[in-house]
Amino acid sequence: MGIIKDQSVKNSILSYFGVAIGVISALLIYPLNTEAYGLAQFLYSTAFFLLPFASFGITSGIIKFFPRFRTTDSNEHNGFLFLILSIGLSGFVAFLIVFFLFQPYIISFLSNLGFDQNILVPNIPYILSLLLLLLLIFIFTFFLNNMKEIVVPNFLHLTLYKIFLPIIIFLNFKQIIENSTFSLSIVIYFIFVLIALIIYTMYLGQFNLKPFSKGFITKPLRREIISYLSYSNLNIIGNTLAFRIDLIMVAMMLGFQMTGTYGILFALAGTIDIPNQSIIQIAAPVISDSWEKNDIKEINNIYRKSSITLITFGTFLFLGTWLCLDSILELSTNTKLLSSVKYIFFFLGLAKLIDMVTGVNTQIIIFSKYFKYNLIFILILGIVNVVSNYFLILEFNVVGAAMATFAAMLIINLVKLLFIYIKVGIHPFSKSTGMLLIIGMVSYAIAFYIPNLENPFLNIFVKGSVFSILYIPAILFYNISPEINLLINQYYTKVMNRLK
């Protein structure tokens, strides 16, 4: 867990810098122009949604098979980078052919469901451009993850984008740039990200496009790769149906303005699982290596430590934010609109917290010999989520999309948790898990019953401080997460040594 902890901490610090910008933007910039923000969310989410259809599942295969190709004496890695780029680009070309052949039927089908085709059709060129760029960006990102490099790729793809997006949304609000230029500028930004990632890969000495030798990829390995990518791709498709369809359906059923509103609270809820994203990215290659060695003890160690660490952070962030959410939204440039749909944050926040509670269960399954079972879980869940989104949006408007996401996340994680316990005999929970939940609920209840103050800044400070003063010392005193205690002790020692 040493390298996992180090990279996760660095990435979390960088991510929370982006979060600070994202929160400020969500409260002050995006509410000024929810339609433009909704358009940006729709373009990115749709391209991301189509990614598994155009990638042959290569993004997950990068982590899975790199240990087989890795070379320690050179950067060739037996032609691995050439192989994954070839598969990815072949998948994109195949997708384009199928898409344009069936485009009229797809548009007609969506129209019959009541979706607004005028939302999709004018934006197809931008979506396809983003699709290609995201495909290549993710290939280089996951390739670099194998070298335990997550900070720079995430900065370029995620953090820097959070700086760029509010700028162009504000310029669009001031009518300095038109909608067509707005969409094009997003595409140009991701071209920059791709070029930067390629340059960084070169800087690390890992950019080598030498083709793989025919003799290296044996028939058994070829069959294994094809089988894994096929099942993995279906898994990813199900996953996108389960967890990425909400923004797209909100856009096509309710329009860009409501998509922007949903996206603002979606962004606020996204602050909760930043530690989750960091730990998963760096833990995935370690889990893959552990399965290669059949080291169940190490997998169980990562499973438990990641779970309790993530629950500790997640509970603090979710309860603390929900406690102060009304006051936070008062600081927005459109308080009335956001306050009317604040339960979007509640359901999305719970969904993310549930995902953090179960730690790295998805990675444990997909890198094991049981990876095919995940396909059944996720495809069924994806279909259920699409249907539930459709009817819950019709019934509860934009909040219904958040409710559907919460239900989907709860179901899939319970199923995976039970499956891992039955097949592998491990689970992520301990006595500390129960103690943590008690600490969180007691701390929240005490802070909640403190009378509200009229000044939103003061109210956030008082209630947030009371909650933190109750929660944090209790977590440290009971040693809920040894990893967190160790981390704090290390930083405390460093600070004291410098002061001396």
**Each residue of 136-190: pLDDT tens digit?**
999 998 888 877 777 788 888 888 898 999 999 999 999 898 877 999 999 999 9
> Mapped to the 3 state alphabet, what secondary structure does 444-461 carry?
HHHHHCCCCCCCHHHHHH
Give DSSP secondary structure letters for 149-172.
--HHHHIIIIIHHHHHHHHHHHHH
Q: What pTM, to 2 d.p., does this model score?
A: 0.79
Q: Is there a contact between 485 and 466 (Cβ–Cβ < 8 Å)? A: no
Structure token digits, residue 317 = 């962030």
Q: Is there a contact between 322 and 463 (Cβ–Cβ < 8 Å)? A: no
> Mapped to the 3 state alphabet, what secondary structure does 369-388 carry?
CCHHHHHHHHHHHHHHHHHH
Distance between CA 291 and CA 261 in Å, rounded? Answer: 42
**Each residue of 236-252: pLDDT tens digit?**
777 677 667 888 999 99
Q: Please tell me the predicted confidence (pLDDT) of residue 4.
A: 52
Torsion from C-alpha of 222, 227, 233, 239, nearest 10 degrees: -140
**Each residue of 40-64: pLDDT tens digit?**
999 999 999 898 888 877 877 787 7
Q: Please tell me the predicted confidence (pLDDT) of residue 115.
A: 84
Q: Please tell me the predicted confidence (pLDDT) of residue 11.
A: 61
Domain edges within the chain: 2-429
DSSP SS3 for 441: helix
Torsion from C-alpha of 192, 198, 199, 203, nearest 10 degrees: 150
pLDDT less than 50: residues of the chain: 1
Q: How far is CA 392 from CA 34, 249, 404, in A?
A: 22, 11, 7
- Alpha carbon 316 to its chain centroid, in Å, reads 19
Q: Please tell me the predicted confidence (pLDDT) of residue 361.
A: 86
Half-sphere exposure of residue 470: CA atoms within 13 angstroms, side-chain side: 21
| pLDDT, the chain, mean | 85
Half-sphere exposure of residue 253: CA atoms within 13 angstroms, side-chain side: 22
Q: Is there a contact between 238 and 379 (Cβ–Cβ < 8 Å)? A: yes
